Structure 1
Amino acid sequence: MDKIRITFLTTNFLFYFVHWMVLAYLPIVFKFYGLTDAQIGFIIGLYSISSMTLMLPMGFFSDYFSPKKIVIAGAFLLALYFLSLLFVRNFLGLIPVALLGGIGSAALATVLYALYLKIIEKGKRGKQVAFFQLGSYLGYGLGPLTGGLLLSAVQPPSLFKMALIISSVLMLITFLLQDSTPITFSFREYRKDLREPATMFLIVGIFVMATHFGVEQTSFSLLMKEDIKLTPGQIGLIFSGIGLWMACLVPLAGYLRDRRQKIFTFLWVGLLISGVFQFVTGLVSSPGALLFVRILHTTGDTLAILEVGVLTALFFPEHRLGGNSGLLFGVRTLAIFAGSFIAGLLNMKLGYGFSFMANGVFVFIFALSILIFCKIRPIATDFLQTSASLQISNPSGGRQ
């Protein structure tokens, strides 16, 4: 099992490493190519929306066919995406390229995660999910650092050449993943999974949480470059500090989550912290203050993302995790597209900082409203807890 987990960790790390090595600087590169803020927001959002449209069917296919083969195909498309970025530099040409990248990312992000949840041991979900997410955070931290150092020394095409090499290595490693056994397909069973009140609550929480990812993907690099005047190398150091902090924090968060069985707490508290410091991000003007604020912000992110992963593993039967995970990732990606597109429009009119402040207020008010509601109406919390407990223990709706 250790070798299997390490293979998944490595695959997840390489995917997020190359994903963020490029994505963190795409707005800057596109700005260099002459695209407007609205066009940049559209292209980044399109990358997300193309992922969203295929996450659900890919999730279903991963339950019915071989998830390992879908992951391999996703890695191939991701490499083809980076190859295309070497040659395409105009807005219209970048539209199909963004679609291609979104499809490859959808296969890796959705199916790789679902496959991992299918084969892990049933105990200590928090630690198991935290181990997988460790690869994501290390990739998030080290990928932009590498990209920033490259862009400080070479022209943008060299960044895409490096991404092509890494994604090719990633594709080779996917052949080492363990596969899972396909099932007999049934829409009726999936509908039953999603009608549970606790599941609907989880879906709403994921949507709100993911809007701020869209804002960050469109605006964070530009905020650092245009408003705080950081170089690409300094931007990479900021991303590295944030990612390494999350990588250090997530094992502790996983341990604490296994000790605390009350559902959703990490999600709402995490969103509350995240929203506060998302707002403050729009006000900072120095590199040190920015790093400090983003570390506090991502503390909330780490708690919320971990809780989503644990609840996904708990709420859905393992043989239908592909389709259900695809739906959750689709909701997340729809929210990312909305956040990216709206941030692109706000950036043109009100500046990069304002989009962070507006989104921070939105996330904070939502999380605070939920916590106040649950405090005033504890019966609602008890109802959700009971609903989730029945989901987890029910042989037809929980894990089998």
Structure 2
Amino acid sequence: MHKPPTAKIRPNLVAEKPSFGKINLIVFMMGALGNIILVFVPLFLAEMGLTGLEIGILIGTGLITRLFASIPIGVISDRFSTKAAFYAAIAFIIIFLVGLNFTTNFFFLLVLFILLGLGKETINSFLDIFTLKAQGEKAGKTFGKFQLSRYLGSGTGALLSGIAIAFLAFALTFNIVAVLVLLLLVPIYLLKDVPKEKINLFQYGKDFLKVKNVLFAGMLFLFTFHWGAEHTTYGLFLKNYLDLDTAWSGLYISITLIFLALAAFLGGRLIDKGIEHKKLFIVGVLFSGIGHIMMVNENVFVSLFWRILHEAGDGLFFITQFVWISLLFEKERIGGNYGIMFTIMTLGAFTGAIAFGPLGEATNYTAPFIVSGAILIAEALILGIYIFGKGLKKKPA
């Protein structure tokens, strides 16, 4: 059995016990917000009369804003205090949510999505980086609880917002969510920063250009390509292909996300017990791809079953990529390096959003899931042949 990867993780940079209770509360709320935006904002935009291409451009704009912001935010987290950035991010998200009620102008919508991208990226990246820096010996357990909080929040957000939109309409629901986002100021105010380091910026480039890190970045890009399909077509697939209203869509999504959260949590425990994170990563990508293809089924219950498999695969991906990043980079530079990796992931999602927006509209929102699922399966098979084949070569004849 492999020695647990967490045994190699470097000592904690935080002098006092980290505030993981507050962190996980904020993560829960941001997870809920993220799924409201993922599923119901495209429905709102379609209701405005926007085309699939226009929706893809708006979603892609939010993603590409995150792309350009990821590395600076990561470097800031290594070198400066994060409180002011948190407060600005909260303001940006509230402006986005409230602003949707006051404009149908495409240019102003672009501005709102830029603010959304900046706000979400700032908060989510700082939370991720704080957790990567502050975890101790049992990284799998820490990361597992973190991802459990995030995706239970996602499921809760999908369920409650779906019901709210069914009874209150989009505009009032978005305003209520804006008030809830404002309440995040309390736990954010109570957070303590991790220690800062003086770092040579060129060192980030040296870290990234190591062959193993470039290959890892390529794997992340291929995986996150399917995020573009989800960002542009998931809610529309549930409405147009499965004929679900917003309340039933919320229930469908929330059920599946419970399994994502549990898979991430259990995956962390397995890693702490010695299961190699690379092998769990492959299993996660494979499950994700198979589920993405097979969920395209007109029977809601069959579709739900395969979506559960997809989300379980995503859960394994999220926990293993966290552990993998924590092992690849020195903690004092993990903020900037995580920013680089997240930039790669966001680029994958952006590319997918631009590709799958028009494709979804032309195929009743089914083809994006099939195409992106096939890419995931191919990635898992190639990576599996490489890693498992490498392991077999090491065994004595």
After TM superposition, the score normalised by the length of structure 1 is 0.90
Secondary structure of the structure 1 residue equivalent to 2:194: coil
In structure 1, how many angstroms separate the alpha carbons of the residues matched to 2:258 and 2:379?
28
State the 1:3 CA deviation.
7.3
Unaligned runs of 5+ in 1: 383-400
Say if 2:178 is the partner of 1:149: no
Aligned to 2:172, which of 158, 161, 164? Answer: 158
Match of 2:347 in 1: 334
Q: Which amino acid aligns with 2:62?
A: Y
Match of 2:333 in 1: 320
State the 1:264 CA deviation.
1.6
State the 1:156 CA deviation.
1.3
Match of 1:240 in 2: 254
Match of 1:71 in 2: 86
Aligned to 2:366, which of 337, 342, 353? Answer: 353
Deviations along 1:3-23, one digit per CA (max 9) or x if unpaired, are: 711100001111111222233
Deviations along 1:75-95, one digit per CA (max 9) or x if unpaired, are: 222122212222122322211
In structure 1, how many angstroms separate the alpha carbons of the residues matched to 2:199 and 2:18?
30
Cα distance change on mapping 1:338 and 1:381 into 2, 3 Å: farther
Cα distance change on mapping 1:38 and 1:314 into 2, 3 Å: same
Say if 2:377 is the partner of 1:364: yes
Equivalent pair of 2:38/2:230 in contact (CA under 8 Å)? no
Equivalent pair of 2:152/2:258 in contact (CA under 8 Å)? yes
Match of 2:106 in 1: 91
In structure 2, how many angstroms separate the alpha carbons of the residues matched to 1:201 and 1:381?
21
Cα distance change on mapping 1:147 and 1:22 into 2, 3 Å: farther
Q: Which amino acid aligns with 1:344?
A: G
Equivalent pair of 1:59/1:323 in contact (CA under 8 Å)? yes
Report the more deviating stretch, 242-251 or 100-109: 242-251
Aligned to 1:308, which of 314, 321, 332? Answer: 321
Secondary structure of the structure 2 residue equivalent to 1:181: coil
State the 1:377 CA deviation.
4.8
Equivalent pair of 1:142/1:239 in contact (CA under 8 Å)? no
Equivalent pair of 1:79/1:167 in contact (CA under 8 Å)? yes
User: What is the correspondence of 1:187-266 to structure 2 with a 5 Å cutoff?
Assistant: 187-260=201-274, 262-266=276-280
Deviations along 1:126-168, one digit per CA (max 9) or x if unpaired, are: 1111111111111110101111101110221112101210110
State the 1:357 CA deviation.
0.5
Aligned to 1:30, which of 34, 38, 45? Answer: 45
Q: Which amino acid aligns with 2:274?
A: R
State the 1:378 CA deviation.
4.6
Equivalent pair of 2:260/2:313 in contact (CA under 8 Å)? no
Equivalent pair of 1:22/1:160 in contact (CA under 8 Å)? no
Match of 1:52 in 2: 67
Aligned to 1:110, which of 113, 120, 125? Answer: 125
State the 1:263 CA deviation.
4.2
Report the more deviating stretch, 366-375 or 125-134: 366-375
Equivalent pair of 2:225/2:372 in contact (CA under 8 Å)? yes
Unaligned runs of 5+ in 2: 1-15
Q: Which amino acid aligns with 1:240?
A: S
Aligned to 2:29, which of 8, 11, 14? Answer: 14
- Identical-pair percentage: 27
Question: How big is the alpha-carbon RMSD for the aligned residues of Structure 1 and Structure 2?
Answer: 1.9
State the 1:317 CA deviation.
1.5
Report the more deviating stretch, 238-247 or 354-363: 238-247
State the 1:27 CA deviation.
1.1
Report the more deviating stretch, 219-228 or 192-201: 192-201
After TM superposition, the score normalised by the length of structure 2 is 0.91
Match of 1:129 in 2: 143
